[in-house]
Structure 1
């Protein structure tokens, strides 16, 4: 029995490790479909593997790091065909970046349910903005040491690299954390409203990311609608849709990204996705907190009513019933 339990645990751990490797590699191949060349270096406006890696660490813990390293290794081999010494430095950065973000989130008591305001703030500023400093810095330093990147171009390439990694965390990690808790919807759920939200979000995102009139702000009222009515389950997919369409528009130099240099495009995308993610995460967390407080208050009121009923003598309860007080005042009828 003990051996079978250990074998089952090892099988589950191996399956989880393999799943992380496959998810990292496939998301890396997907991210490379929309690559840009910045100062003779290849960068991606959105690098999904960082979001996959951080979500895996939040779900399975630090023991899953070999899966992240293997996924980064296979992704690097698929691009360069071989693992050179400078490739090892990039591999180390891609592994240490999510680990640093995970450690920072754990240090502040982050909860993967994202049901508190502080969790949304921590994911954006510690998990994305701060944690991805490690991967971009190690990657660019490695390129400079290997003479693949001139020192005078370090900061522009570093900014593009950092922006792509940040967007991977901001866009992919929330949606994976939502999918972890996904359940089949009931027939009585708000299907019509959800369908209307998806249609409106699609139209607003297409107009905002393809119009030359710089109308990116159009998506925010719809994001607020999604967060207020559906919390993270509605706002996270909407944020993903906005980010994907913005990346497609940016790589085609269309809409509000037309005529801008690569660095400007990457920074604008990072600011857009940061604002979209902050809006969706923070507003969803506030609404969820309010709903939780309301449910707790209702539950406390029910428990208090039950306690009062248990402690009150039966005779006093009967005396408070309609008509009983009147009879008590009149007294018994004369015989």
Structure 2
């Protein structure tokens, strides 16, 4: 008995620590991957897509709010890999933790489902991602202006690039991580021929759209619609992430549709495309999932009703669960007896 008493507190302490360390590792790896497509706006390093925000939101939703120290540690390690940490680094780390925390709290308050099976789930993820991610850039860029590391006139351009990068991390990475963790239903297993056709089409059209100087980025959207309608969240978000990552690299190299554009014009054009792709894939997939769930509910209700009518026509008792309900009615007795 004494062994049980001693072991249980240790387990309650060790498990959150291990989860926080795992979150910190995932955050750091996602940060290093995100920095591969980094851009420099007014001397500040920003990324069109910042995957760690998606990692942080999923960790808080799945493992609980107690893993926030892992987010703080991961954020600190990412910053330390770029520059020597200073006192202002703690402010940036605070913004990196506060944004995902607010997003997770907002999602919980709206009754967000991890399977994103309703349109309201998709809208909640979009709204929470856009609003909660205001914290990080406001705190981070504001501190750089106060310390003199950034000119006041450059505040909005850097702030906008920072905010959109954090928001895109939530909108693009969070759904894919939920799919990978099994929170979202898998796509249907049949239709491999159609899946291969979609992959081949994406492998051909997305690079052409990104590399072409004719600004053919709009040809990606039929692929997103196709993926959402037939393969729901897993297919559409993978397609959107592939298109966004490839387009971000082309923007960083100032090639294709981003040739001869200024840094601000590149960020506006790139983030407009990334945002439109993420919203199309996420919201359309949620609508399709909700419609399919509604259809399954109607079909089940129709099957149950047909079974009841069949039993009544044959003169037998109604099937379960209707039989138990009939027994309770007979026990109470009909009105007036």
TM range (shorter): 0.7 to 0.9
Q: Is the 8 A contact 1:62 1:99 kept in 2?
A: yes
1:236 corresponding residue in structure 2? 237
Q: Is the 8 A contact 2:187 2:234 kept in 1?
A: no
Unaligned residue ranges in structure 1 (runs of 5+):
318-335
Q: Is the 8 A contact 1:45 1:247 kept in 2?
A: yes
Q: How far does residue 133 in structure 1 lie from its aligned partner after superposition?
A: 0.8
2:125 corresponding residue in structure 1? 123
CA distance in 1, matches of 2:22, 2:284: 32
CA separation of 1:90 and 1:200: change in aligned 2, threshold 3 A: same
1:291-306 to 2 correspondences below 5 Å: 291-306=292-307
Q: Is the 8 A contact 1:163 1:267 kept in 2?
A: no
Q: How far does residue 12 in structure 1 lie from its aligned partner after superposition?
A: 4.1
Answering whether residue 210 of structure 2 is matched by residue 209 of structure 1, we say: yes
- State which drifts further: 105-114 or 182-191: 182-191
2:101 corresponding residue in structure 1? 99
2:176 corresponding residue in structure 1? 175
CA distance in 2, matches of 1:7, 1:27: 30
Answering whether residue 44 of structure 2 is matched by residue 41 of structure 1, we say: yes
- Write the deviation string for residues 108-158 of structure 1: whole angstroms up to 9, x where unpaired: 22222111112212212321x211111000000111122111112111111
When the two structures are superposed, what TM-score results if normalisation uses the length of structure 2? 0.86
Count of residue correspondences: 315
1:242-261 to 2 correspondences below 5 Å: 242-261=243-262
Q: Is the 8 A contact 1:166 1:270 kept in 2?
A: no
Q: How far does residue 176 in structure 1 lie from its aligned partner after superposition?
A: 0.7
When the two structures are superposed, what TM-score results if normalisation uses the length of structure 1? 0.87
- Write the deviation string for residues 261-311 of structure 1: whole angstroms up to 9, x where unpaired: 222222222211111111111111111111111111121122223334455
Q: Is the 8 A contact 1:170 1:273 kept in 2?
A: no
- Write the deviation string for residues 196-239 of structure 1: whole angstroms up to 9, x where unpaired: 11111121110111111011110111111101111112111111
- Write the deviation string for residues 228-259 of structure 1: whole angstroms up to 9, x where unpaired: 11111211111111111011111111111112
CA distance in 1, matches of 2:162, 2:38: 11
Q: How far does residue 312 in structure 1 lie from its aligned partner after superposition?
A: 5.3
Q: Is the 8 A contact 1:27 1:49 kept in 2?
A: yes
Q: How far does residue 314 in structure 1 lie from its aligned partner after superposition?
A: 3.7
1:19-168 to 2 correspondences below 5 Å: 19-81=22-84, 83-127=85-129, 129-168=130-169
Q: Is the 8 A contact 1:232 1:280 kept in 2?
A: yes
Unaligned residue ranges in structure 2 (runs of 5+):
319-337
CA distance in 1, matches of 2:93, 2:187: 44
Q: How far does residue 5 in structure 1 lie from its aligned partner after superposition?
A: 6.0
